[in-house]
Chains A and B, each alone.
Chain A
Amino acid sequence: MRELTFSTATREALTEEMERDPAVFVMGEGIGERGGNWGTTVGLFERFGPMRLRDTPIVERGFTGLCTGAALVGGRPVVDFMFLDFLLDGMGEIINQTAKLQYMSNGRLTMPIVFRGCIGVGHSAATHHSGNYYPMLAHVPGLRVVVPSSPYDAKGLLKTAIRSNDPVFFLEHKSVLGVKGQVPDDEYLIPFGEAAVVREGRDATVVAIGWMVHQTLKSCDELAKDGVSIEVIDPRTISPLDTDTMLASVKKTGRLLIVDEDYGPCSVGAEIAAQVTAKGFDDLDAPIMRINGAFTPVPYAPPLEAAVVPNPTSIALAIRDLLAE
């Protein structure tokens, strides 16, 4: 075991997969010699050269479509959007081509492609650099969506993503990039569709996504001082979504809160609540509650920005409300 940052762990995963398979290549803006805006590819250009670390013009739709075509004939592209917000220029290609070609070809084509990019509110990034988008992506049949919160998960899930024959979105919250954690020396992969119980508890279950896992853990530490015991679940992949782990936890605690920085309407939390209600109604001692980012474009000024996302204090309040039900 070593302690690595989230970014270093993903870079290790990418490097190992590029060494393992010559069909893996990266495309994006500034991912060549510059090493990526977030350091996703530092040092790789020197090793793998320009065909496999392909700097592009500013053509998000273009390289999204291009990499989709590349994946159809044996290439394994990793598309690096830098900020995931720029994905929107390529959304038509993703929904109409990338996600649908396996099905429309009756399974004779595969789509081994990874899209990665930074998501999330923070650092006064303002509205064009703060989007999350995972509910939109998880709504589309044919896509896989991964939102890791720790270096360990990030490495194991990115390796699985690169080896997958399905299109995978690997979304990295800008606040988790510097998070440190233990990562094994030996190779490992983490399968999709397996949520992680990141903290065990008995009074209530909290499902948290991405950076909100860390914010929730902080509030749990505070609540523990009052003897409140919270179980925290990180779904890790939004599509497929492991509701079995959530149901098992709710069976034990009888209470469920979903903490998600992204908007509430038509959200992952809405989906979880519907599924847990349908299958675990008898285990619930209280209504399922949600706490979400405010339903607004993301503002710039630090006090405004802080007002649109859940934080350890607001999460702790929501947990106390849930326990009072």
Chain B
Amino acid sequence: MLSAPSTSLSTSELLSLYRKMVQIRRTEEQLARAHQSGAIPGACHTYVGEEAIATGVCANLRADDVIFSTHRGHGHALAKGVTPRAMMAELFGRVTGVSAGRGGSMHLFSPEVGLMGTSGVVGPSILLATGAAYTFKLLGTDRVSVAFFGDGAVNNGAFHEGVNMGAIWDLPVLYICENNQYATEVPFASVSKTTDVAERARAYGLPSYVVDGNDVLAVHAAAAEAVRRARAGEGPTFLECKTYRTRSHSEGMRDAGYRTAEEVEEWKNRSPITKLREYLISERLAPEEELARVEAEVEAEVDDARQFATSSPWPDPATVLDHVYSA
């Protein structure tokens, strides 16, 4: 497993990683409450517990780099630069949402900041990201493309076809597998004879590593090298980030019978946010008051986003046929 015991990041970079993870966590908690209250008409899969992965990867990307995400995509969207306002409004189905109310949680699009879509289908993010990388290479740019996907995607044909094509054509793409050990209620161990996805990926001939997905510094360091390689034309990299989702598969779904409360508790104690917080304090990189100030600012930002979403107008049904075609 790759680890990053020491880091070359500046204090302000570390603080911005911290701020982003807290922003994702607070937004998700707010969304979960909104879902319970009925303010979100559709599905809502939270990223609670997995914040380090999107945060660590996207901190290495430019605005013109692109990411392709999953059904569990709120963290990816925020990490790539979508605002809590625009995201929350989308889940509320409002015209001010990133997709103007056409998509909801699983169809968040913000090409302006490189979010090329969360997805209601497991698997395609791998192919789409590989394709964006193909264009980047064809047009001679140094832009980079990222596919996020869960352990549930890796038995799907899209994984095998996509990773292989990325490898044989040396495309500037990062394959980021978020192995949270379950696909809905199905343990990864029950659908794979091998423990590590990275082992499968390695068989396709690209550098593949297992990373502690609850350690934002480890993710950041691994992604930095992967992005460097991609920009330099050295081809794709595969990172399997081991992690855990500490809420139910999706809001409102039961979360029992397939995992133990002790297991969930143990992983809650391994929160990537707590881990970085303790590191910042113990290494005397940021005083407790400063972290508290960041937390308060994020809290206010997310409250404002909820207000914004609640008070935003619905889309106009007269526009329902717009954009089926480009012209």
Give the docked Cα–Cα distance between A66 and B126 (Å): 8
In chain B, residues 114-132, which have Cβ atoms closer than 8 Å to a Cβ of chain A? 116-117, 120-121, 124, 126-132
Residue contact A63 to B165, C-beta cutoff 8 Å: yes
Q: Which residues of A contact B242 (CB under 8 A)?
A: none
> In the complex, are the beta carbons of A65 and B326 less than 8 A apart?
no
Residues of A within 8 A of B102 (CB): 103-106
State whether A69 touches B129 (Cβ < 8 A).
yes
Question: Known: A57-B164, A66-B162. Is A101-B117 also a contact (CB below 8 A)?
Answer: yes
Contact A105 B99 (CB under 8 A): yes
Asked if A97 contacts B128 (CB within 8 A), the reply is yes
Contact of A106 among B109, B124, B131, B137 (CB under 8 A): B109
Query: Cβ of B136 < 8 Å from any Cβ of A?
Result: yes
A104 touches B107 (CB 8 A): yes
Contact with A along B237-259 (1 / 0, CB 8 A): 00000000000000000000000
CB distance A103 to B128 under 8 Å?
Answer: no
Tally inter-chain residue pairs, CB-CB below 8 A. Answer: 150
The CA-CA distance from A73 to B121 in the complex, in Å, is: 21
Q: How far is the CB of A161 from chain B (nearest CB, A)?
A: 13
Residue of A nearest to B137 (CB): A51
CB-contact partner of B131 in A23, A52, A66, A110, under 8 A:
A66
Is the pair A106, B135 in contact by a Cβ cutoff of 8 Å? no
Asked if B99 contacts A70 (CB within 8 A), the reply is no
Interface-lining segment among B24-32, B36-44, B191-199, B317-325: B317-325
In the complex, the answer to whether B127 meets A65 with C-beta atoms within 8 Å is yes
How many Å lie between the Cα of A308 and that of B215 in the bound state?
64
Whether A105 pairs with B165 at a CB distance below 8 angstroms is: no
Known: A62-B162, A109-B109, A166-B325. A67 touches B131 (CB 8 A): yes
The proximity string for B residues 126-149 relative to A, scoring 1 for CB distances below 8 Å and 0 otherwise, is 111111111111110001010000
User: Number of residues in A with C-beta < 8 Å to the partner?
Assistant: 46
Q: How far is the CA of A71 from the CA of B326 in the complex (A)?
A: 13
Bound state CA distance, A51 and B325, in angstroms? 28
A184 at the interface (CB under 8 A from B): no
Report chain A residues within 8 Å CB of B136. 73
B164 CB → nearest A CB, Å: 7
Q: State how many angstroms separate the Cβ of A138 from the closest Cβ of chain B.
A: 13
Q: Which residues of B contact A62 (CB under 8 A)?
A: 127, 157-158, 161-162, 164-165
- B293-327: contact bitstring with A at CB < 8 Å (1 yes, 0 no)? 00000000000000000000000000000111111
B111 at the interface (CB under 8 A from A): yes
Judged by a CB distance under 8 angstroms, whether A142 is at the interface is: yes
Q: Does any Cβ of B come within 8 Å of A286's Cβ?
A: no
Distance in angstroms between the alpha carbons of A109 and B68 in the assembled complex: 13
How far apart are the CA atoms of A71 and B130 in the complex, in Å?
A: 11
**What's the Cα separation between A105 and B132 when bound, in Å?**
16
CB-based contact B130/A66 at 8 Å: yes
Identity of the chain A residue whose Cβ is nearest the Cβ of B136 in the assembled complex: A73
B66 within 8 A of A: yes
Q: How far is the CB of B241 from chain A (nearest CB, A)?
A: 22
Judge if B100 is at the interface, Cβ distance under 8 Å.
yes
Which of B109, B121, B134 makes the CB contact (< 8 A) with A105? B109
On whether the beta carbons of B134 and A102 are closer than 8 Å, the reply is no
CB-defined contacts of B130 to chain A, threshold 8 Å: 65-66, 69
Q: How far is the CA of A180 from the CA of B326 in the complex (A)?
A: 34
Binary interface encoding of chain A residues 106-133 relative to chain B, with 1 for a CB under 8 A from any of its CBs, else 0: 1111110000000000000000000000
Chosen A-B contacts, 7 in total, with CB atoms closer than 8 Å, are: A65-B124, A65-B158, A69-B116, A73-B116, A101-B109, A104-B117, A109-B111
Shortest Cβ-Cβ A-B pairs, 5 listed = A69-B131, A65-B127, A62-B161, A69-B128, A75-B135
Identify 17 new A-B residue pairs, CB closer than 8 A, beyond the known A69-B132, A105-B109. Answer: A23-B139, A54-B169, A61-B127, A62-B164, A63-B165, A65-B130, A69-B128, A70-B138, A73-B145, A75-B131, A77-B131, A96-B120, A96-B124, A105-B99, A105-B103, A105-B111, A109-B109
